Amino acid sequence: QRVKADVKLRGDAYQAANGYTTHISPDQEYGYIAGLSYSKPEIALKAALTYRSEIEHTADAAESYPAVAGIPGFGPRSGDIDITTPESVNFDFQTGINPTTLATAKVRWVPWSDFAIVPSLYNQVSNLNPIYQPDGLSLVSYDEDQWQVELGLAKRLSQALAVSGNIGWDSGAGNPVTSLGPIEGYYSAGLGAKYNVTENWAVSAGGKYLWFGDAEGQIPNDDIVSDFQDNEGYIVGVKLSYQAL
């Protein structure tokens, strides 16, 4: 897993943090995946439970905080930052309904409530306010764990052509949300198709539409500074694949 970040807080909504900047240099670390799977080919049944470990990063962070730059010890600094990306548990399931129809289900859990990004200078400045002592404030954190559910159907219309559709739900990780990620989950609907051009070559295309959940944006001191409503997004993709028989 590779992480990096550039953060620039700008605008009066950020109060004393207006103008704060941090650059977190790229860092690559490794985790592990473990799981169990079961299959019953005669009814196209497959089930898998997979665990992905949390991954710990230590990267260099260069920070500047103009509002306190004149105070000794609070000038621009560079140093290590520890970031731990969360673990996750994933359940994938499919089964045949009849010889040409397949049902699928996916469930994912991520404990984002354990995640936080805490740059040294940003945290130290927040501790100047007795309200936030002794731990200070984090730059990014979440209140709740995230759940995702997706249900789908696939239908083979001929030996060469198959179509699929799915619907999904994402709980988000709490509301109010960080101003750096202003949505509270989403609902989604998708359609796709796969065409076998030859026995070996196939082309697939699909799209998914997402209705993002309305959310209030809050800065780390818990002040609500923004309101996000009626946002949406979409994803499209095309794949050319080859399979040796």
pLDDT tens, 117-145? 999 999 999 999 898 888 899 999 888 99
Q: Which domains, ranges and CATH numbers included, belong to the chain? A: 2-242 (2.40.160.60)
What pLDDT score was predicted for residue 220? 84
What pLDDT score was predicted for residue 10? 92
Q: Report residue 109's pLDDT band, with 50, 70 and 90 as the boundaries.
A: very high
* pTM to 2 decimal places: 0.86
What pLDDT score was predicted for residue 245? 76
Q: Which long-range contacts (CB under 8 A, 24 or more apart) does 150-154 make?
A: 150/104, 150/105, 150/106, 150/188, 151/103, 151/104, 151/105, 152/103, 152/104, 152/105, 152/190, 153/101, 153/102, 153/103, 153/104, 154/101, 154/102, 154/104
